[in-house]
Amino acid sequence: MHLRWGHADEVEVLAFDIFGTVVDWHGSIVREMSALHPQVDGDAFALAWRAGYRPAMARVMSGELGWTLIDDLHRRILDEILPQFGLAHLDEAARSHLNRAWHRLDPWPDAVAGLQRLKRKYIVCTLSNGNLGLLTRMAKRAGLPWDCVLSAEVFRAYKPDPATYRGVARVFDLPPQRVMLVAAHHDDLEGARACGLRTAYVERPLEFGAGKVKDVSPQAANELHSRDLLDLAEQLGC
Amino acid sequence: MHLRWGHADEVEVLAFDIFGTVVDWHGSIVREMSALHPQVDGDAFALAWRAGYRPAMARVMSGELGWTLIDDLHRRILDEILPQFGLAHLDEAARSHLNRAWHRLDPWPDAVAGLQRLKRKYIVCTLSNGNLGLLTRMAKRAGLPWDCVLSAEVFRAYKPDPATYRGVARVFDLPPQRVMLVAAHHDDLEGARACGLRTAYVERPLEFGAGKVKDVSPQAANELHSRDLLDLAEQLGC
């Protein structure tokens, strides 16, 4: 693929969505559940937990809830769904440990090697709705070699709020076209594009598990379309 | 040295001051000046530039100036001192390049190896008044292996404001005694200690150059006193 940028537009920063794009939240929650609570349907549990995620952030962004970190939103949702899965009896320590499962998500098999290659040429940072503590502990456990951990927590706004995409460009004192968002979600990329960022889509057909394969067909509006992060490194000449 | 903490108080995060503690700002500015403007006394220039740093942050914290990043404060000070050094003629590109010298500071010789050892056991993050873009570019060039880059920019307050020290503990959802500030400046450590953080002093006798050797004698209030980051790793059993 021929890249369309010249020197003044050269991309310097690759900002990555995390949940689903870099790490396999579904498979990791299933793994945690089969170790901790094997009697529960891990696939259904993971999907139920994640289903509460967007509505919870929407309540924050509408002002109905004050500013709340993802760790706390995950915990609210967890407390809501536990009874539906026969786990209403879990005590505080068990709930708290389970909630930290989001700090222990495994990377997709290509992620660490892909990021190591991309990092040679670009600043690689997170741009996730996950909070800084979650992202840092996840990276340390998984070996994700970020140059910088950025989060909705820094900008006090959740994606796709423009403050997040513009915030990354501002942090690095760059015009938005010198930042590229890498994500497995078209709405996230659309939000970034509306702020002038470049966009790269990553196929993650199994994001929601093998029972719910995702359509990963290309959308023309994205500058790049990649199978995984190794393919993205290849396309970017890293 | 016997460490005085048990499991519940175990340190999980080491937060590092940067300018002077991890990187040699004086020697690096002298190096930049001897390459770019060899006719200027680099030692005097570095000291003059740095002398404007605290007063500039004080103006921000008093409210006299609105929130301003260190890159911009460095630039204001630079513009003020250039005429005193016969450099009033520098154009915008030259000033901008020189101002970025703070992104190109070299680490002290022990810093990268020390951090790599400390990182095996602890979360290692920055807690600097430098802005995120500056700290990230510096780390990438110097090979500083941060798990997370934290800055006054995240907390919108400059050290020694309590919001910065408490902010680190909050980011990692830890009581303050599980965070240790590592710094070569007693006032910074004092600010951290007042917020309940643990403190480790690092000797950097040449922070201000060989012409102005710094007193690095131990102060009893600090839990640890170390010659450099390798010595700190040794004391912490890394």
Closest approach of A35 to chain B, Cα-based (Å): 25
- Interface check A149 vs B, CB under 8 A: yes
Query: Best of A149, A151, A153, A168 to disrupt the B interface by mutation (most B CBs within 10 Å)?
Result: A149
Cα separation values, A45 from A38, A54, A95, A197, A207, Å: 11, 16, 14, 35, 14
- Interface check A173 vs B, CB under 8 A: yes
Work out the pLDDT band at B6, boundaries 50, 70, 90.
low
Residue A7 reports pLDDT greater than 70: no
User: What pLDDT, on the 0 to 100 scale, is given for residue B8?
Assistant: 72
User: What pLDDT, on the 0 to 100 scale, is given for residue B4?
Assistant: 53
B181 three-state secondary structure: strand
Taking only the tens place, the pLDDT of each residue in B24-71 is 999 999 999 999 999 999 999 999 999 999 999 999 999 999 999 999
Average pLDDT for chain B: 96
Q: At what angle do helices A42-51 and A53-61 cross, to 10 degrees?
A: 10
Closest approach of B236 to chain A, Cα-based (Å): 19
User: What pLDDT, on the 0 to 100 scale, is given for residue A195?
Assistant: 98
Q: Are A144 and A111 in contact (CB under 8 A)?
A: yes
User: What pLDDT, on the 0 to 100 scale, is given for residue A4?
Assistant: 53
Q: Are A13 and A125 in contact (CB under 8 A)?
A: yes
Work out the pLDDT band at A1, boundaries 50, 70, 90.
very low
Percent of chain B past pLDDT 70, that is, above it, reads 97
**Considering only alpha carbons, which residue of chain A is nearest residue B132?**
A171
Give the pLDDT mean for B145-149: 98
Residue A19 to residue A136: CA distance in whole angstroms: 14
* Side chain identity at residue B35, one-letter code: A
Q: Are B49 and B29 in contact (CB under 8 A)?
A: yes
Residue B3 reports pLDDT greater than 70: no
User: What pLDDT, on the 0 to 100 scale, is given for residue A9?
Assistant: 82
Work out the pLDDT band at B23, boundaries 50, 70, 90.
very high
| DSSP state, residue B226 | E
**b/e burial code for range B2-13 (CB count within 10 A of at least 16 → b):** eeeeeeeeebeb
Q: Domains in chain B, ordered, with CATH? A: 7-24+106-235 (3.40.50.1000), 31-103 (1.10.150.240)
User: What pLDDT, on the 0 to 100 scale, is given for residue B2?
Assistant: 47
- Interface check B149 vs A, CB under 8 A: yes
Q: What is the largest CA-CA distance in chain A?
A: 60
Residue B90 reports pLDDT greater than 80: yes
Residue B115 reports pLDDT greater than 50: yes
**Beta strands per DSSP E along B136-223:** 148-151, 179-183, 198-202
Percent of chain B past pLDDT 90, that is, above it, reads 96
